[in-house]
Amino acid sequence: MTSVPYDVLLNTLAPGSTRESTLPELDRKPDPWESSMQATCECLSWRGAFDNLERRHAEDALGETIYHDFPVRARSAVITAHTLMDRGVISPEELRARMELVRERFHRE
C-alpha cells in the first residue's frame, strides 16, 4: 500500500517522537483530547459508521505497520482518519485544511 494519500497523517508525527515502550508511559491518565477521541469513536460505532471492533482490528493491523512509530494513545485518531479517507468521507486535502484550522486556533489562544 502506498502512503502518499496518508502523508497528511504521517507528517503529524513530531521528529524524535518515540513509541511508548514501558508500562509507566502507557499507564497514565489520558489527556483531554484522548478522551474526546474515544468518545468520537464510540459515537461513530454507535451510529454504524465505524464499528469499534473493526477499528480495533484496524489499529492492530495499521498500528504495527504504517503507524508503528505513533504513540499508542494517538493511534485511534490516526487510524480513524485513515479509514475515513479510505471510505471517501474526507479527502487528504480536506483533512489537511481542517488540521490547519485547528492549529490556527491553538496559536490564537
Give the model confidence (pLDDT) of 36-94 as tens digits: 888 888 998 898 888 999 999 999 999 889 888 888 878 888 999 999 999 998 999 99
Residue 79: exposure state from Cβ atoms within 10 A (0-12, 13-18, ≥19): buried
- Give the residue numbers spanning the domain of 86: 52-108
Assess if residue 18 is contained within a domain: no
Residue 103 lies in a domain: yes
Residue 46 belongs to a domain? no
Q: Looking up cell 489527556, which residue turns up?
A: 31
pTM over 0.85: no
Rounded CA separation 78/17 (Å): 15
Q: Quick check: is 65 in a domain?
A: yes
How many domains would you assign to the chain? 1
**44 within a domain of the structure (yes/no):** no
Q: What is the pLDDT of residue 83?
A: 92
Residue 23 pLDDT > 70, yes or no?
no
Q: How far apart are CA 8 and CA 92, in angstroms?
A: 6
